[in-house]
Amino acid sequence: MKKNDIAPFFAALKAANPTPQTELEYTTVFELLTAVLLSAQATDVGVNKATRRLFPAANTPQAILDLGLDGLESYIKTIGLYRSKAKHLMETCRMLVQLHGGTVPRTREELEALPGVGRKTANVVLNVAFGQPTMAVDTHIFRVGNRTGLAPGKNPLEVEKQLLKRVPDEYAVDSHHWLILLGRYVCQARKPRCWECVASKYCDFTPKTLAPATGKKS
């Protein structure tokens, strides 16, 4: 993607969705951290179904610890890899209580020191909870970055670095959400829905796909 096309690309996404939000449901920073930790290799819909049961019963680190491992597992067993996620979440809660007074830290280093919290999870928390212009590169953003030519890279870290370098400052904080939503609903893996994309004219992907019913190009 040409440098001159990047700002119009994001301007088009912003015009269509001025205030993008994560689709994970949360009301506190700890709930967000928990939801993101549980979301690895799972859908936001599936995580939300589980946390709607979990959070009314326990939505603080100490409350999670009080549930015990078996109790926590009973709330999240519908989520893939729930046993390992439960262990990580319990250890994270223990560290939050012992080292951080029960609050979620605001630095990448402290977040990534928590069990089950990798770079992507830390980026989501830093961006969504604390408004930092980080890029949490999941499969959707990795695909969009490469397919559009916005941020080509062989791995998520390369794509992240390209995005941090190329996304204009005015779009930096919300760009993570726009790219995820674009990849999830429009720029899909099997067949991008170019005819529905508000920013398709700035995208390097060719040839643009056709709408099934009309055969009309985007």
Report the mean per-residue pLDDT for the chain. 95
203 is known to lie in a ligand binding site: yes
> Is pLDDT above 70 for 179?
yes
Q: At 217, phi and psi to the nearest 5?
A: -75, 155
Give the number of C-alpha atoms closer than 13 A to the C-alpha of residue 15, restricted to the C-beta side: 9
CATH fold of 3-19+135-202 = Endonuclease Iii, domain 2 (1.10.1670)
> Is pLDDT above 50 for 218?
no
pLDDT value, residue 214? 58
pLDDT value, residue 212? 80
Which tokens belong to 115?
Answer: 């069990």
14-47 pLDDT tens trace:
999 999 999 999 999 999 999 999 998 899 999 9
93 is known to lie in a ligand binding site: no
What average pLDDT does the segment 89-108 reach? Answer: 97
Under DSSP, the state recorded for 125 is I
Q: 29-130: what CATH class?
A: mainly alpha
Residues of the chain with CATH 1.10.340.30: 29-130
DSSP per-residue letters across 34-82 = HHHHHTTTS-HHHHHHHHHHHHHH--SHHHHHHHHHHHHHHHHTTSTTH
Location of structure tokens 């205030």: 19
What average pLDDT does the segment 69-84 reach? Answer: 96
Residues of the chain with CATH 1.10.1670.10: 3-19+135-202
Catalytic residues: 120, 138
